Amino acid sequence: MKMLVIKFGRSVSVLAILLAVIPLFEHAQAAASYALPTKPGIWLSPDPRRKLSDAHTMELVQSLQRITGFRQLGFTENGLLMNESPCSSAEGAVEARQVLERARQSGHVFIIEDYSGSDEVHFGQLDEGTNYEDTRTGIRLLIWRVRLDFADFHDMEAAQDVRASFDCGFTALHELLHGLGHTDSLQEDSIGEIEEILNRARTELQLPLRDSYFGELVPISTRMISLRLRFLPQPSTQAAQAAQSARALGSAPPLKRKAKYLFFLLPHSYRPMLTVSGLVRIGCGPQR
């Protein structure tokens, strides 16, 4: 967790100077050109280096509209996410609406940043958080930066329904849940509480469920490796298909669901930061 303290006056403690100067130095380069949001909510980054293009903003808005059913959802001119009443939508997933509303009402600031093409971020990542304090105005905020790599979603190989289960909107919700205190799985055989929540939303939307939190690395050449993520079709869809097949063949339906995979190419030099049994964490939250 970082500290960012804005203050002036003659009496400043050494600790305050240390807390203020280090992050301010980082912030100072861009401070002249943009100001951080000073009200809680979900914001588009005002940083010109991380600002979403109109196309990426539209991609995120359309995805969140589809997942939540909030058809009026969008960003205001100054970058704040707005949507209609939580009770007004009959579409989308209730679970996803609750996640988005919890983040909007949390009192925290979430800043969505564009890390497209970055080697640091694969699909999505939440930073370690910043405790912001402005002693001049008395404003204190916890600021999270939600980093999204839109290029990764275009570069991956997956069936259309798997793409709908794992896109920028679902990834943004994943990172928001980290900011709300939820954690990822540390066990190979567990999906983790965040993906359990998102799988309930996928169930409502009749989308494939994420079957593993961890990705598997598969070498495909001397220069490239493939990372794959496993999904399972909805049981209800599978059961319906099996019942249809059984009727056609006059036999018992198959019980086993066939996994679907998402593939993503990485350079052979890729070194995952965190692994369990050689598996790769996808959608990492803050390193605590």
Give the shortest CB-283-to-Zn ion separation in angstroms: 4
- Interhelix angle for 193-204 vs 94-104, to 10°? 130
CB closer to Zn ion out of 37 and 285: 285
Pick between residue 133 and residue 195 the one whose CB is nearest to Zn ion.
195
Of 157, 205, 155, 176, the residue nearest 283 (C-alpha): 176
Q: Which 3 state secondary structure label does DSSP give 285?
A: coil
> What's the token pair of residue 4?
């960012």
Sequence-distant contacts of 238-241: CB under 8 A, at least 24 apart: none
Cβ atoms within 10 A of the Cβ of 49, count?
11
**127 near Zn ion, judged by CB under 5 A:** no
Residue 179 sits in the site that holds Zn ion (CB under 5 A): no
Q: Which of 177-185, 217-225, 238-246, 269-277 is the region at the interface with Zn ion (rule: CB under 5 A)? A: 177-185
**What is the torsional sign of CA 65, 68, 70, 73?**
negative
Residue 263 C-beta: closest distance to Zn ion, Å? 20
Size of the site for Zn ion (CB under 5 A): 3
Among 184, 199, 202, 228, which residue sits at the site for Zn ion (rule: CB under 5 A)?
184
Torsion angles phi and psi, residue 261, rounded to 5? -125, 150
Least separation in angstroms between CB 175 and Zn ion: 7
Q: Is 283 in the site for Zn ion (CB under 5 A)?
A: yes
Judged by beta carbon, residue 70 or residue 123, the one nearer Zn ion is: 123
Residue 235 to residue 274: CA distance in whole angstroms: 31
Instruction: Confirm or reject binding of residue 133 to Zn ion (CB under 5 A).
Output: no
285 interacts with Zn ion by CB under 5 A: yes
C-alpha distances in Å from residue 270, one per residue of 120, 215, 227: 11, 13, 10
**Structure-block tokens of residue 106:** 């949390």
The piece of 137-145, 181-189, 222-230, 232-240 that touches Zn ion (CB under 5 A) is 181-189
Candidate segments 17-25, 64-72, 132-140, 176-184, binder of Zn ion by CB under 5 A: 176-184
Spatial neighbors of 204 by CB under 8 A, at least 6 apart, are 92, 93, 94, 95, 96
**Per-position x/- string for 224-263, each x denoting binding to Zn ion as judged by CB under 5 A, each - no binding:** ----------------------------------------
Using the contact rule CB under 5 A, the part of the chain among 39-47, 163-171, 180-188, 223-231 near Zn ion is 180-188
We find the least distance from the C-beta atom of residue 185 to Zn ion, in angstroms, to be: 9
Question: Regarding beta strands 109-114 and 124-126, do their DSSP bridges make them parallel or antiparallel, or are they unpaired?
Answer: unpaired
Query: Which among 34-42, 59-67, 179-187, 233-241 is the span making contact with Zn ion, rule CB under 5 A?
Result: 179-187
Report how far residue 286's alpha carbon sits from residue 144's, in angstroms, rounded to the nearest whole number: 9
Minimum CB distance to Zn ion, residue 245 (Å)? 37
Residues that bind Zn ion (CB under 5 A): 184, 283, 285
